[in-house]
Structure 1
Amino acid sequence: MRFTDGMWHLKEGVRIEWMSNVERLRIEQETVDLLLNKVQRHRGDTLNSPTISAKVTSPSEGIIGVKLVHWAGEIDNGPHYDISSSTGHASVVHDKETNKLTYTSGPLNLAITTSPNELAFTFQDSSSKKLTGHSWRSIGYVADQRSPIYTHDDGMYATKQGYMLSELDLSVSEKIYGLGERFGPLVKNGQTVDIWNEDGGTSSELAYKNIPFYMSSRGYGVFVNHPGKVSLEVQSERTTRVNISVPGEEIEYFVVYGPTPKDVLRRYTALTGQPGLVPTWSYNLWLTTSFTTNYDEETVSGFLDGFEERGIPLGVFHFDCFWMKSYQWCDFKFDEEMFPDAGGYLARLKERGLKISVWINPYVGQASPLFEEGKAKGFFIKRVDGSVWQWDLWQAGMAVVDFTNPAACDWYSSHLKRLMDMGVDSFKTDFAERIPVKGVKYHDNSSPERMHNYYALLYNRIVYNTLSEKAGPTQGLLFARSTAPGGQKYPVHWGGDCESTFEAMAESLRGGLSLSLSGYIFWASDIGGFEGTPPPALYKRWVQFGLLSTHSRLHGSSSFRVPWIYGEDCSAVLRECVKRKILLTPYILQEALRGHRDGTPLMRAMFLEFPEDLNTYAVDTQYMFGPNLLVAPVFDKEEVTFYVPRSDDDRAGKWISWFDHNKTYEPGQWYTETHGFETLPLLIRPASVTVVNPELKVPEGDALSGIQLLVNGTLRRETTVEIVNPGQTDEVLKMLRVSPADGKVQCEGHSVEIVYVG
């Protein structure tokens, strides 16, 4: 939100009280409390003006938090994000002679100038390099009379909308990333971003997955710990700052130090929640019924027969909306007219070796048999007069389940368990963005405005926990569209409603990379695009991209996504791409486990893997799949341009093509190539060891039989490969150590084939 007209003027109706002075401070163990006020010329300046209380803390090593409060009298009914916190790693020194307070947490320092009228906060690394901070006029309280709550006739008692404003400095050439799944440019500089979940599709500034966390190319990140609407002007209002504002009387942010981008993610996910793991079968190809298509048991069986006849491995079948009767979403019952023997049919699908997923949402239409029960028992969000909040968007007379009510959670969970007893393995947790904020009341009296984004977290949590309780640890799996900070604990998330165009395929990648820079390690897109029917060329190119994503699902709106509809050549492309992904299962499992430990995503923006190469910071049309594989999707029928990064391993060899090991690439160069539909730029990193298994027929097959290690170039250090248990994805079965001297593999009782590819 913008409050200014240039450097010197405020917008009409806006007043900002800037903090410029430390009036007093108190140090108590690892906490610093400061009282901030405006410029103080004489004692009279303490009258008729606000103060802001600042509290400095450190929840963990390398992270420093600042909480700014104007009025402390607000009622706080929550909700609040879960923050992991400990003590014993911070120290405070106040030098009264130099008027400087230094707060240190591991390698991160915060220097606060306490000289009269010279307030400044400077975050530095251990070498005293400035990361960010507050300089002149950057902490303030905004009183805005451009609001319905303001009435001029109230005179001096007129209520103005208040905002807390925190402006953090940017350095020359500094770039900002993240802020959730955003489909515009990967680099966020120059953008206005509102952290407010909306169902806007992938071709707009709106986003399903809003995360108030950004990462800087300067080696730090910032997490705004506020579940309500957070507005960021990223070098768009002040060209030297990120301006952060929230409505209300307080704001809290945490500066998360690196120094590398991976270190920032490691610390951020330790703060907000370690990413969850998923079952190995989820890496299979998923096929859905699509959204508004007509289908029954005969239709579905015909699709499955078609995959078998063409030798295309398929692991998961998903029933989208119309598995339930129209107007009754959700009643959690198969439409008996289309599926007269649903239990028997699911059993027959299981006999084919398939896992089953079904679509759900957190809403109950008035025609649903569950509506009256939910109304009678108080399971829905209510209006302030006690009636059920309803509207006709999406489902007629739709109510919203109130997940702050424990009884409602148990009720909702019981229907999921009933479906799991029938054979359902996973749920697509759709929607949860259109959550009302005005004139509503929650069971636990949570703030409706703060619940708008947070609601998605509650929704996914109850479904994920229900699945995990029944299936076991690491075996729970969602396909979720919306989320909030901490949602990385409840995977997987997909990119929402995209069009069937090359442009939408590219924006989907940007969205996935932005989410991966926000603490999420898994992501998928609707292969072929959701809206419209893809031409064959687009279908094949999206198949290549989608099968080099962590999760791969064929899904559309009004048309099916089975490949032969688009031509048998599409079937051939899909078959080869699925088999390649299955071959990569040991590599995917290894990198997922590492991501679970340290927050590093499998699909990585180039600079995340190569922060030393400045050319990578603006690249958003390619990515690294794990540390070893460069993927450049072809956003065209044939031609693609991509960049091969530099690294410390350049002297150990060259990048090589996955498809032709005689084809090499020089680091630090751009390439433009023409590719048929059998290939794309898929490059293997020099000095790397990539674990694969060509013998696998399904991802969840024997983890130890048939392992190969693909070695490219000369190894510069001992490389460790972890063979992860496909039945329990947090368990390592074998540790393989490859020596840089002789290339030998050290592993007791197990032989491994080494394949030198470069």
Structure 2
Amino acid sequence: MEIICKDRVFTLKNGSDVLLHTNANTPMVYVGYGEERVEMYRGNFKLEDHLLERRPLTLTSARVTEQGTELDLEGQLKLLVTEKEGAVTLTVAEKAEGINRFWLHVEAAEDEHVYGCGEQMSYFDLRGRHFPLWSSEPGVGRDKTTYVTWRSDVENGGAGGDYYNTNYPQPTYVSSRHYYLHMDTTAYGDFDFRNPRYHELQCWNVPGFIRIEAAPTFVELLEKLTAFLGRQPELPEWIYNGLIIGAQGGNERSFGIVDKSLEHGIKVSGLWCQDWCGKRVTSFGKRLQWDWHFHKEMYPDLPKHIEELHARGIKFLGYVNPYLVNDGELYAEGKKRGVFAKKADGSDYLVDFGEFYCGVVDFTNPEAYNWFKDEVIKKYTLDIGIDGWMADFGEYLPTDDLVLANGVSPMIEHNHWPVLWAKCNYDAVKESGKLGQVVYFMRAGGTGSQKYCTLLWAGDQSVDFSRHDGLCTVICAALSSGMVGCGLNHCDIGGYTSLFDNCRTKEVFLRWAEMAAFMPVMRTHEGNRPDTNFQYYDDDDCMKQLARLVDIYTMLAPYTKTLVAENAAKGTPVMRPLFLQYEDDPRSYTEQFEYLYGPDLLVAPVWQSGKTEWEVYLPSDEWTHLWTGEHYAKGTHTVPAELGDTPVFCRKGSQWAELFDSIRAKYGK
């Protein structure tokens, strides 16, 4: 990186590539003042900005000092530009009063591709669109042209969502020009990549700093990015033993599904009972009693049953989120201790979660944070032998009339909340000495999730093949989150959300399962309406096919473990975009429905209904079809894709060829 500063001109270059530029006539920073209006309905947000002022700031003076390069922007902002070990940081040293809006222009190229901004579901390449950065429900349908989205919007307060809605926004992107940019802010942001000449990065405060770093390859660039942001630890060894079964309904039913699955040859690594804490039925479907201890009627003697599972080599997983229902025992205890965020009048702020109300544990209050960490996660979860859990939610922090213990505006803490939630889980596990033994998986995230979240899951997809809310969004979610440092991701096999007569089919389930066999974790979910959706354990043929897919997953374990270790050591994601290894291939930069599973497997999931063949693109290498042994060169090919056989290709010359050949020998065609 080269910093050029002379004669009231500032330029930042990466080689010959100009990234930032400003002078007396050309602004790169704009500032202003706005008044936002935010409405929330059950985690769905409507944000409007009444912008009162926006003005460009040109460069008044630029001088080199011992501390770095000082930029004075019309006396309104002063930036200190420093370089350390190749990373350039623009730190806001001073700002004028009355500024709460900030825009940065970054020089762009017309043929540039951009990735990241957290976990994106609809578009992997962000170029040509803008992406509001605000943690929320991702929406049901997520496509304003579809019936499901329309009904979600009309009947559920705008819950249909759009392409940019995400549980996990992050003000970080990676450019095909081999640099990343990170903005230090948790305020609402909007990263706009529509202009052919520049990227406009907006946030509703003045960021602390902007960091830019470059590298000759994307693998090296992600290593640098994750050295800065943090890296996920390796997964527990037991994960790779088989399927994590999602089951509900109490001891007899849930443990019975495990027995039935084993009888049909399905290898099982864990039983995940999200209703371990009790159930609550709403118009949305079967939900939970948000009171985080085992339900003595549904799961009597649960610690004893967990011990029995452990004796069989199977783990038990539960469910926890950072809210407590106001009719529960833990809410009553928390209220006595004063752990909940308040309204301005001093009363507890209760959030509507869909026909029930919950208190928000105030993680900015050290006493509240420690109480939840020690008394809820450790005492009621870890201490009874639970080996993992869905650490759900984190996106619902209200912004109206909410008072936090640290005095910071909820408009600033909202996007920070998922990270505080992740850290609470991380600290509980680490302090218990169980990091590397226990896994918790999250859908919400932000800057810092890289270090504190052991595993992402792609949230609540619809139980279908829809373009913006179905199976294919899992691929985009994994690729985008991997580009900002969260390289461990997985999904609910078969999807989760079933509304408006949209029900899971056997085909949807199996297509999802065949993809999940080539992901770091395989886990099923019965969905929000189990009784009206296809369940694998009700179909003997499906159990037979699932047993095959789970066995393939376990056979791949030695390979997968090396990928997970590489993610922990260097930040190289397990599921990778094609350009991570084929940088000279232009097509690889726009492919979002295929991925590299490590360096040696290319996976092209079938994400449309009724297909027996599938068109795949193979980058420049020699490839062998995993199921038939047929050889393929670079290019577009139509290949067999019967149900259960997602198109997978092995790279010629792989050191894992013997393992891949053994899978073909056992399960090939």
Aligned to 2:87: 63
1:314 correspondence with 2:338: no
Structure 1 residue 431, shift from structure 2 partner: 0.7
Q: Is the 8 A contact 1:563 1:571 kept in 2?
A: no
Q: Does 1:195 align with 2:133?
A: yes
Q: Which residue of 1 aligns with 2:233?
A: 276
What is the aligned partner in structure 1 of residue 520 from structure 2? 550
Matched, 1:540 2:577: no
**Shift, 1:68, TM fit:** 4.1
Q: 1:367 to 1:672 in 2, by over 3 A?
A: same
Match of 1:211 in 2: 170
1:562–1:353 CA distance, 2 compared to 1 (3 A): farther
Structure 2 gaps of 5+ residues are: 1-29, 33-48, 143-161, 282-287
Secondary structure at the counterpart of residue 415 of structure 2: helix
Which amino acid is 1:306 matched to?
Answer: K
Residue by residue, what CA displacement relative to the aligned partner does 1:96-121 show, whole Å, maximum 9, x if unpaired? xxxxxxxxxxxxxxxxxxxxxxxxxx
Q: Which residue among 281, 295, 299 is the counterpart of 1:339?
A: 299
Contact persistence 1:363–1:398 (CA under 8 A): yes
2:558 is aligned, of 586, 591, 594, to 586
CA distance in 2, matches of 1:446, 1:428: 28
Counterpart CA distance in 1 for 2:190 and 2:310 is: 47
Does the 8 A contact of 1:465 with 1:476 survive in 2?
no
- Identity over aligned residues, as a percent? 25
Residue identity in the other structure for 2:508: L
Q: What is the aligned partner in structure 1 of residue 7 from structure 2?
A: none
Unpaired runs of 5+ in structure 1?
A: 5-10, 38-49, 74-158, 695-707, 713-756
The aligned runs of 1:27-426 (5 Å cut-off) are 27-29=65-67, 31-37=68-74, 50-58=75-83, 60-68=84-92, 71=95, 162-201=100-139, 203=142, 204=162, 205-235=164-194, 238-250=195-207, 252-283=209-240, 284-289=242-247, 295-321=249-275, 323-324=277-278, 326=280, 329-394=289-354, 396-413=356-373, 414-418=375-379, 419-426=381-388
Q: Say if 1:376 and 1:691 are closer, same or farther in 2 by CA, change over 3 A.
A: farther
> Quick one: distance in 2 between partners of 1:215 and 1:492?
21
After superposition, the C-alpha distances for 1:121-174 in whole angstroms (9 at most, x for unaligned) are xxxxxxxxxxxxxxxxxxxxxxxxxxxxxxxxxxxxxx7x73111011111200
Q: Secondary structure at the match of 1:356?
A: strand
1:660 aligns with 2:660: no
Equivalent of 1:569 in 535, 541, 547: 541
Q: Which residue is equivalent to 1:76?
A: none
In 1, distance between residues paired with 2:119 and 2:57? 34
Amino acid at match of 1:35: D
Residues 239, 521 of structure 1: CA spacing in aligned structure 2 closer, same or farther, 3 A cutoff?
same
Which stretch has the larger CA shift, 412-421 or 477-486? Answer: 412-421
For the residue of structure 1 that corresponds to 2:637, the secondary structure is: strand
2:239 partner SS: helix
Helix, strand or coil at the partner of 1:443? coil
Give the aligned residue type for 2:419: L
Q: Kindly indicate whether residue 390 of structure 2 is the aligned counterpart of residue 428 of structure 1.
A: yes
Partner amino acid, structure 1, of 2:409: S
Residue type of the alignment partner of 2:593: T
Q: Which of 382, 392, 407 lines up with 1:445 in the alignment? A: 407
Q: CA deviation at 1:666?
A: 0.6
Cα deviations by residue, 1:271-292 (Å, 9 ceiling, x for unpaired): 11122222121233111126xx
Change in CA separation of 1:680 and 1:383 when aligned onto 2, cut-off 3 Å = same
The offset of 1:521, in angstroms, is 1.2
Map Cα deviations across residues 468-513 of structure 1 (whole Å, 9 max, x no partner): 3324342242111101112022210101111111221012211221
Q: Secondary structure at the match of 2:332?
A: helix
TM-score by length of 2: 0.81
- CA distance in 1 between counterparts of 2:335 and 2:71 reads 49
Deviation of residue 64 (structure 1)? 0.8
1:569 Cα deviation (Å)? 2.5
The answer (yes or no) to whether the contact 1:285–1:552 under 8 Å persists in 2 is yes
Tell me if the contact between 2:519 and 2:575 (Cα under 8 Å) persists in the aligned partners.
yes
Q: Which amino acid aligns with 2:305?
A: Y
- Residue 398 of structure 1 aligns to a residue in which SS? strand
The one-letter code matched in structure 2 to 1:557 is N
Equivalent-residue separation in structure 1 for 2:350 and 2:511 (angstroms): 42
Q: 1:558-612 deviations in whole A, cap 9, x for unaligned?
A: 1178854563222122111111111111111111111111111000111112112
Alpha-carbon separation, structure 2, partners of 1:182 and 1:207: 6
**CA–CA separation in structure 2 for the residues paired with 1:493 and 1:692:** 31
**Structure 2 matches for 1:519-534, cutoff 5 A?**
519-532=485-498, 533-534=503-504
Give the aligned partner of residue 619 of structure 2.
645
Secondary structure of the corresponding residue to residue 552 of structure 1? coil
- Partner Cα separation in structure 1 for residue 315 and residue 271 of structure 2: 6
Equivalent of 2:61 in 23, 26, 43? 23
* Matched residue type, 2:78: S
> Measured at CA, do residues 3 and 184 of structure 1 come closer, stay the same or move farther in structure 2, by a change above 3 Å?
farther
State the shift of 1:451 in Å: 1.0
Q: How far, CA to CA, are the matches of 1:240 and 1:528 in structure 2?
A: 42
Give the Å deviation of 1:299.
Answer: 1.0
* Structure 2 residue matching 1:582: 3-state secondary structure: helix
Is 1:491 the counterpart of 2:454? The answer is yes
Asked if the contact 1:22/1:35 (under 8 Å) is kept, the reply is yes
- 332-341 or 577-586: which moved more? 332-341
| SS of residue in 2 equivalent to 1:607 | helix
Amino acid at match of 1:206: N
CA distance in 2, matches of 1:483, 1:368: 27
Q: Which residue of 1 aligns with 2:431?
A: 469
- 499, 505, 518: which one pairs with 2:484? 518
How many residue pairs end up in the alignment? Answer: 580
Structure 2 CA distance, aligned partners of 1:196 and 1:655? 41
CA contact (8 A) 1:426 1:467 kept: no
Which moves more between the two structures, 614-623 or 403-412? 403-412
Query: Residue 474 and residue 693 in structure 1: after superposition, are their counterparts in 2 closer, same or farther (change >3 A)?
Result: farther
In the alignment, structure 1 residue 613 sits paired with structure 2 residue 572: no
- The Cα offsets for residues 386-420 of structure 1, whole Å up to 9 and x where unpaired, read as 22111333463311011122222222122222222
